[in-house]
Structures are given as C-alpha cells and as structure tokens.
Amino acid sequence: MKRVANYLAKGAEAVAVAMLAAMFLAFIIQIVFRYALNFPVGWTHELSIVLWIWLVLWGAAFVLRENEEIRFDLIYGAVGDGTRRIMCLVTAAGLVGLYLVSLPAVVDYVAFMRVQRTAYMKIRFDWLYVIYVIFAVAAIARYLWLGWRALKGGAPEAFDPTKANSGV
C-alpha cells in the first residue's frame, strides 16, 4: 500500500512539474511574440492563467504534505500533544463541514459554467473550474484522515523552528 501511495505522490508531483513547465513555456512564447516579433498573442496569457489555477489547486490537493500547510506555528508549537490533537480535530471537523456544505453548490456552479468558454482558447469554464471540485474532495478526504488519526491518539507533529527552511 505504501508503495502505491509513493507512486501516486510521484505522479502528482510529475503532473505539477509538467503544468509549471507548460506555464513557463507559454510565458516565454508570450515574451518572444510580443517583444521580438511585435505580434502580441492572447492565448499564452490565457493558458498561463489556466495553468496557474490548476497548478495551485492540484498542488494543494495532491502534492502539499500536511506538515507543509500554513498554520500558526508559534501557538501550535507551544502547546502539548493533547492540545495539538484537539486543535487538529476542531480544524478537521470545521473544514470537512465547510467543504461538505459547499460541495453541492460548487458542483452545480461548475456544471452551470459549461455554457461559457474562455476568450482565446475556447476552453469550457466547467473544464477550467472542475479542479476546484477535485481539490474540495481531496481536502475532505485529507481532513477526514487527519481527524481520524488525531481521534485515535496520533498528535500532529510539533513545529520545530530549528528544522524550518525556506522551501528552496
């Protein structure tokens, strides 16, 4: 099971890398067309925006690890294991509840957006926004798992400022 999870994690990272590479390539094409050829094109800008939206939500759903999420480290690291477990349970319950309550409306909105298309590439907006539905379902699954782990006695790892890095 762990081997499959590692394979899926590497695949998710590869998809994120491919999106970032495509976004960079579109950016370079945009610069060349605008400044070298004096022929501005709009599709490169549109593609960059679409890929940015997908990259951020894909990364948050499948690439970002739990210990890399944003939290109030000063408070979180100053409390004991039991308090961190309670904080994790409250956070998990709140986020799962919010995502579950909003999910039907989000799905309806995404389905409704199939009637509109982007200006240059004519991408249907439901295909553009479906990544949010994927992100929301992944977030629900992640926080159910984190909440279950905390409920069973697994306290989230304490923040250690000596191990913090810039992410580079």
> Per-residue DSSP letters for 59-83?
IIIII--GGGS---HHHHHHS-HHH
Q: Is residue 68 very low, low, confident or very high in pLDDT (cuts 50, 70, 90)? A: confident
Q: Is the pLDDT of residue 39 over 80?
A: yes
Q: What pLDDT is stored for residue 99 in this prediction?
A: 97
Burial 14-28 (b: 16+ CB within 10 A, else e): ebbeebeebbeebee
Between CA 105 and CA 111 the distance in angstroms is: 10
C-alpha neighbours within 13 Å on the C-beta side of residue 130: 7
- Using the structure block, give the residue that is written with the tokens 């004991």: 80
Q: What is the mean pLDDT of residues 51-55?
A: 96
Whole-number mean pLDDT of the chain? 89
- Using the structure block, give the residue that is written with the tokens 């994120």: 16
Domain ranges of the chain: 1-64, 68-168
CA distances from 7 to 1, 2, 14, 24, 105 (A): 10, 9, 10, 26, 33
CA distances from 24 to 27, 36, 47, 146, 150 (A): 5, 17, 10, 34, 40
pTM for the whole thing?
Answer: 0.85
Burial 51-80 (b: 16+ CB within 10 A, else e): beebbebbbebbbeeeeeeebeeeebeeee
Query: For the ranges 23-27, 76-80, 120-124, 127-131, which has the lowest average pLDDT?
Result: 76-80
